[in-house]
Amino acid sequence: MNLGIIGQAAGLFAVTNIDDILILALFFAQGAEHRGSARKIVLGQYLGFAAILAVAAAAAFGATFLPESAVPYLGLLPLALGLKAAWQAWRNHRGGEDDNGAEAREGGPSPLEVAAVTFANGGDNIGVYVPVFATAGVGGMAVYAVVFLVLVAVWCFAGRFFATRPVIAKALSRWGHILLPAVLIAIGLLILIEGGAFGL
């Protein structure tokens, strides 16, 4: 196994996914009081990243499941999830928590919500990964995929680590219900605007 490719893969992952640590920390903070939420978040992160890898690998072989013009519209996913989280935070603030008793007890983000945000936020990663995968060949692509999947676990650990540090945990428990929707909405708008969706 070529150490050069491993180093390149690690560097590429870090550069293209640095913002995921903040999102993961917010997700872990949101699910802090709910049993099993960490498992759901990790599962969701892996599902979303596996989808990114699958699309990038398929495109590197010439199959395009996702037209380039459709990538900016992935911003609608985090935007919708951010608006949903903002609505829930507003309802809970206004005393609507009792109406959602079962949902509040279960709590935390679902694996599909995490996967959707991961995939949408990684839409631009696909554009970076495709040429790298295409030139790396099958063996090199396999190394990239393995390194990326190992680093997803490291990213999840880092996100949880930050979410459980006393100072950060206190800030996230106090402001997380505002930060999570704000970050998701900002990510969604950024993807839409940077990609020129809806003529923006």
Query: Above 70 in pLDDT, residue 63?
Result: no
Q: Any idea which of 31-40, 44-53, 101-110 has the lowest mean pLDDT?
A: 101-110
Q: Are 117 and 81 in contact (CB under 8 A)?
A: yes
Q: Tell how many helices (H) and how many strands (E) occur in the chain.
A: 8, 0
Average pLDDT in the 106-115 region?
83
The pLDDT score that the predictor gives to residue 138 is 86
Q: Any idea which of 82-91, 104-113, 164-173 has the lowest mean pLDDT?
A: 104-113
The pLDDT score that the predictor gives to residue 42 is 95
Give the predicted TM-score (pTM) of the model. Answer: 0.76
Q: Which of the two residues, 78 and 46, has the higher pLDDT score? A: 46
Residue type, 12: L
How far apart are the C-alpha atoms of 25 and 28, rounded to whole Å?
5
